[in-house]
Amino acid sequence: MTPMIDPKTLLPAQVQDNSASGLDAAKHKDKKDLVFVNLGPSHPATHGCLRALCALDGETIVAAVTEMGYLHRGFEKDAEVHTFQQVIPYTDRLNYVSAIMNNVGYCKAVEKMLGITIPDRAMVLRVITCELNRIIDHLVCAGANLVDLGALTNFWYAFNAREKVYDILEKLCGARLTSSYTRIGGLSRDTYPAFADEVKAVLKDIRKSVAEITKLVSKNRIFVDRTQGVCVISKEKAVSYGWTGPTLRACGVEYDLRKAEPYYHYEDFKFEVPVGTHGDTYDRIFVRLYEIEESAGIIEQALRKLPKGPVMTDDKRVALPPKQQTYGNIEGLMNHFKIIMHGICPDPGEVYDYTEAANGELGFYIVADGGKNPYRVKCRPPCFMNYAAFHEMIEGGMIADAIANLGSINIIAGELDR
């Protein structure tokens, strides 16, 4: 018989010897009183396979240890045995709530490596689709988080609008969730004729649903009492953990890569960066709801200035020739074969590139050795850093608040474990 692992040994040393400075050491002197409970890995409230082993005193979490890796699929290793183009469908499955943002992040990194500038129309369309994805990501996060707090109605209002965005993305990309919309050097296809009108119509629905959610919860006593001042993290702590994105901004740090390091002409768009003041669950939810409004504004501006032209670069190293040329002449056919059989081969070197994804800085570090496959791809998912601070945020709080907090930092397991 294998001996049972004593869960106490997994906890931080301070709890084991009861001399923790941050904990009420006197109260937890007798560690026999503590009850050990696993939050997850398989539990509907954890929104994915995440595990947090909690030591409980009554309903209060005295100490917690988090564990991850339950959804590890080896994205980085897979990328090493696939060509640069073939990695694109794999990036869909990182943060599957906003797939296009991962496509864009990856392709932008490879384009930086190759020194390719994509056409203006492709840039603006990438901005529009990214902001649409940011909106649906925030709607899912806010909606699901409110479900954790017992407010189910908001979820439907958020998802009705999200469904309409998915309808647009389906017409645009050919798939709802696994979009694979970008290609290295541009986009897989151009928009359809009614695209602009449909996006404008859906923005109206989104604004309506956000207004309804705000109306339902912002003065609701239960919601306010359960979120304000709960699971607070300080500015300094958040920065030291490497937080980015809406969760960092909720702590009061005005850091948005779209402002700090503008890409795709983000400096030309007028938008505000919403920041919180307390760094609690309330701020994290409302920073997201405010950002939806800002993203909607960016989309409207982008639709106004959407230029005409191709959506794919004409760089022969990366772009497949138009089908007429593949069908019609030998040069086109050879180019077509060359790109697919031999792949895109960047010069040996390394690159790190980052975009502001829905959860924060999504970075790709790519090393090329001159071959058609990347030598190494490292993905920097924003969730990873958020989840690293999770145990510290929930210690001293109640179990129910830990669940609400988990929703507010928006852990997407596909991105966390890669």
Q: Name the site residues for other proteins (rule: CB under 8 A).
A: 82, 85-90, 153, 160, 163-164, 170-175, 178, 180, 188-189, 192, 212, 215-216, 218-222, 224, 228, 250, 254, 272-277, 282-283, 286-287, 290, 294, 320, 322-324, 326-328, 333, 336-337, 340-341
| Residue in this structure with the two tokens 């203006």, named with its chain if needed | 120
List the 51-57 sheet strands across, edge first: 35-39, 51-57, 60-67
Query: Which pair of structure tokens corresponds to residue 393?
Result: 């945020």
Handedness of CA 273, 274, 280, 286 (dihedral sign): negative
Query: Which pair of structure tokens corresponds to residue 307?
Result: 């230029």
Nearest distance from residue 106's CB to other proteins, in Å?
13
Nearest distance from residue 153's CB to other proteins, in Å?
6
* Shorter beta-carbon distance to other proteins: residue 87 or 144: 87
Residues 73, 94: Cα–Cα separation, whole Å: 10
Other CB atoms within a 10 A radius of the CB of residue 42 amount to 11
Residues 222, 280: Cα–Cα separation, whole Å: 15
Nearest distance from residue 30's CB to other proteins, in Å?
38
Nearest distance from residue 183's CB to other proteins, in Å?
9
* Shorter beta-carbon distance to other proteins: residue 61 or 147: 147
* Shorter beta-carbon distance to other proteins: residue 125 or 287: 287
| Residue in this structure with the two tokens 């930092």, named with its chain if needed | 409
* Shorter beta-carbon distance to other proteins: residue 42 or 277: 277
Nearest distance from residue 219's CB to other proteins, in Å?
5
Nearest distance from residue 78's CB to other proteins, in Å?
9
- 8 Å CB contact between 415 and 97: no
Query: Which pair of structure tokens corresponds to residue 26?
Result: 């006197």
| Residue in this structure with the two tokens 């003065």, named with its chain if needed | 219
Nearest distance from residue 41's CB to other proteins, in Å?
25
Q: How far is CA 188 from CA 16, 40, 171, 319, in A?
A: 56, 39, 13, 10
* Shorter beta-carbon distance to other proteins: residue 266 or 282: 282
Residue 287, by phi and psi: left (phi above 0), alpha (psi -120 to 50) or beta?
alpha
Nearest distance from residue 361's CB to other proteins, in Å?
19
Query: Which pair of structure tokens corresponds to residue 153?
Result: 């109605």
Listing DSSP states for 8-73 in one string gives: GGGS-HHHHTT--SSS-TTTT-SGGG-EEEEE-SS-GGGTSS-EEEEEEETTEEEEEEEE--TT--
* Shorter beta-carbon distance to other proteins: residue 115 or 327: 327
* Shorter beta-carbon distance to other proteins: residue 328 or 348: 328
**DSSP assigned state of 47:** T
Nearest distance from residue 25's CB to other proteins, in Å?
34
* Shorter beta-carbon distance to other proteins: residue 39 or 140: 140
Query: Which pair of structure tokens corresponds to residue 290?
Result: 């405010």
* Shorter beta-carbon distance to other proteins: residue 255 or 354: 255
**DSSP assigned state of 3:** P
* Distance spanning both ends of the chain, measured CA to CA: 35
Q: How far is CA 373 from CA 79, 349, 370, in A?
A: 8, 13, 8
